[in-house]
Amino acid sequence: MRILVNAVLVFVPAWLSGGGNFTPMLLAAAQDLPRMADGKPDMSGVWQATGTPAGMDVGRPGGIVGGGLVPYQPWAEAKYKEYNAALGKDDPATRCWPPGPPRINYIFPIQFVQKPGLIVGLYEYMHVFRVIHTDGRPHPQDPNPTFKGDATAHWEGDTLVVDVVGFKPGWYDQAGNFYTTAVRL
C-alpha cells in the first residue's frame, strides 16, 4: 500500500493544513513513481493518508485554518456554533451521507485508477467514487451538486492540480466546520 506523505492529490486547499497533528500530503517523490505512456506519474494503486487534520474531533473548537478559527461570516459562525454544541448530532455522516473533503481522505484508503484523460478515486467507505477529468474539459456551467463535486485537473510538471466545484453542502470535519454549495477546492 502506498502512503501519501505530502499534498498534491488530496483535494484539500493549502489553508486546511494549519494546526493539529496534520501530516501534509504530497507525493513523496514523483520521480520514483511508475509513469504512464505520456510520461506523467501513474498514481494507480491504493493510497492511505497519515495523520489527522486539526478540527477532526467532535467538540473541538474550529481550527482548520492556520490553527485559528475559520473566518466565518456571522450567519455561518452561528451555524457552526450550533453544530459544534450538538456534538455531532447534525453531522451529515449520521445520516449515512458520504463524508466531505478532507474528511473522507483521512478515514479510509483510496484506490486510484488512472487512464489517459481520467483518474478515478474509489473509496471503500460506502462505495463512493470521485472522477477527475484530466482531458482539458471545463466544469459544467451549472453543475448538479454531488457529494464529491465535479473535478477537473491538469498537470504542472509532475504535480496534478485538481479543481473541484459543485458540492452538496457538507462538513470538513466532525467539529461542525461546514461548507456550502459555493465551496471550491
Domain ranges, ordered by start, for the chain: 2-179
pLDDT of residue 60: 45
Are the C-beta atoms of 61 and 67 separated by less than 8 Å?
no
CB 19 within 8 A of CB 172: no
Indicate the pLDDT class of residue 51, thresholds 50, 70 and 90: low
pLDDT at residue number 90: 82
- The tens digit of pLDDT for each residue in 67-110 reads 456 678 889 888 888 888 887 788 888 888 887 776 776 667 88
Residue 21 in this model has a pLDDT that exceeds 60: no
pTM for the model: 0.72
Q: How far apart are CA 164 and CA 12, in angstroms?
A: 10
